[in-house]
Amino acid sequence: MPASIHADPADWPAPVPALARPLGTDASRGSTPSLAELTTLRVGGSVGSYVEARTEAELIDTVRQADADGTPLLVIGGGSNILAADMGFAGVVVRDARQQVALSADDRCGGVEFTVTAGTTWDDLVREAIASQWGGFAPLSGIPGTVGAAPVQNIGAYGAEVAELLASVRAWDRAAGQPVQLPLARLHLSYRDSDLKRSLTDAVVGGGRTWGPTGRWVVLSVTFSVRAASLSAPIAYAQLASTLGVEVGERVDARAVRDAVLELRRSKGMVLESADHDTWSAGSFFTNPILSQDQANALPADAPRFPVTDHSLAVAGTRRAPVVEGLVKTSAAWLIDHAGFGKGFALPTPGTEPAASLSTKHVLALTNRGHARAADLTALRDAVVAGVHERFGVTLVPEPVHVGF
C-alpha cells in the first residue's frame, strides 16, 4: 500500500519558489489571474477562465469538458516555460494544485520507487529526494516549474536529465478520452523533447491532430525509480566539478551537489528571486542547436562541440542514452555572445529604459526589466535569432511554449 512520504522539513535546504511571487488573486473566491500573474516572465493578458484542480478527477473533468466544448486549453504548472501573448488566452487555464509524494517500493536491491502528482513543485521534490536519500536528483536542483512539466521537456542540467530517473508517466490521453500509463520507452525522450511535447505540433504523434499549447497527454503523475544513495552520481559537468573542488567522475555528498548547483544557478540568474529582474525570465530561452557534422565544421574552431545523446534510442531495459553519430550539439549561449549580443543587451529605446533585455548575468535568458510586454520580448527574441543566423547560419529554436500568439 503506497504511503505518503514527507521528509523532515528541518533537514531540507532553503526552498526555491515555484513562482517569482505569489499570485495576486484567489481562485477560490472566483477571481481570474492574468497570464502575467501565472508566469515567471510576468507578461501576458487575460484568460477566459481559470481553474485550480485539487483532485485528479477535477483535473480530468476540466480537461474533458474543455475538449468537448472545443474550448482552447492551457494546463499550467509553475509558468516558468511560457511566453504568453499580450492579447491573452481566450480559453480555460487549469493548474494542478495537488502536492503529493507516495512511496511504493524501497527494497529493490537498494532501489526506490515513488509516484509524485504533476502539480508538485519540482524543487520541493528535489529537496525531499535528497533528504530521503533518493539518488540522482541533486544536479537538477533549482529548476523552476512542476513535476508534470519535467518529462515534457526532459528537463536537465549539469550533466543530468530527468530521463535517467523516471520510470513512467500516468496521463490523461485527450485523443483516446481515457487515462493511460506511459512507460519510459514510450515517451521517446531526447534533448529537451518528448512525445508529450511533440504532440503539440506533430499530428502523427498527436493521434491525427495537433493540440495547441497543451499536448495530447496531460500529465497526472510521474513515477520515479532510482537507487538509494546519499552520494551523488559521478559528477559529469566540468563547471560543477570545479565549484565542488573535485574531479569529473567523482561522487560527493548529494547535499553538497545541491548547494553547488544552486550557487551556480544564482550566479546566472537562474534561481527565481522577486527582487532580481534577471530572474524575471523563462530560464534558458533557446535550446542548444543540434547540427549536422557539416554545419558544425562550418563554425569557428573555438565554438563548443558536444556529443548528442538520445534516450529514445536506448537499449530496452537500460537508461543509458547512446551517442547519435553524425550529429553535434553546440552552445546557444556561445553563439549569442559571439554574434554580438552580450550580457544586458537590449534593443534601442530612445529616452526610456529598456523593457526587455538579455540577462546581465547570462546571455541565454531573455528578461523582463519590470515593465515589459510580450511584444518587447518577442522583438528581442527575433533580433537575437536573426543576428545568430546572419553570423553563423544557425537558427536558434525558442524553448518556452508560446501561448496566445
284 has catalytic annotation = yes
Residue 166 DSSP SS3 = strand
User: CA-to-CA distance for 346 and 332, rounded, in angstroms?
Assistant: 18
Take residue 304 and report the three cell numbers written for it: 563548443
Taking residue 350's Cβ as centre, other Cβ atoms within 10 Å add up to 4
- Selecting among 42, 127, 192, 216, the annotated active-site residue is 192
Strand partners, 3: 103
Q: CA 198, 82, 329, 289: dihedral to nearest 10 degrees?
A: 90
User: CA-to-CA distance for 359 and 368, rounded, in angstroms?
Assistant: 9
Q: Classify residue 13 as left (phi > 0), alpha (psi -120 to 50) or beta.
A: beta
Pairing of strands 89-96, 47-53: parallel
CB of 143 within 8 A of CB of 161? no
Nearest-5° angle of CA 144, CA 9, CA 284? 10
Helix (H) or strand (E) holding 378: helix 374-392
Q: Classify residue 367 as left (phi > 0), alpha (psi -120 to 50) or beta.
A: beta
Write the DSSP assignment of 326-370 as a string of letters.
Answer: EEEE--HHHHHHHTT--TT-----TTS--SEEE-SS-TT-EEE-S
Nearest to 103 by CA among 244, 240, 223: 223
Nearest to 170 by CA among 216, 215, 207, 219: 219
199 has catalytic annotation = no
- Selecting among 141, 284, 312, 357, the annotated active-site residue is 284
Strand partners, 171: 180, 219
Q: How far apart, in Å, are the Cα atoms of 342 and each of 146, 252, 289, 330, 334?
A: 31, 35, 19, 18, 10
Take residue 93 and report the three cell numbers written for it: 487555464
Radius of gyration of the chain (CA): 21
Query: Which sequence positions are flagged as catalytic?
Result: 192, 284, 399
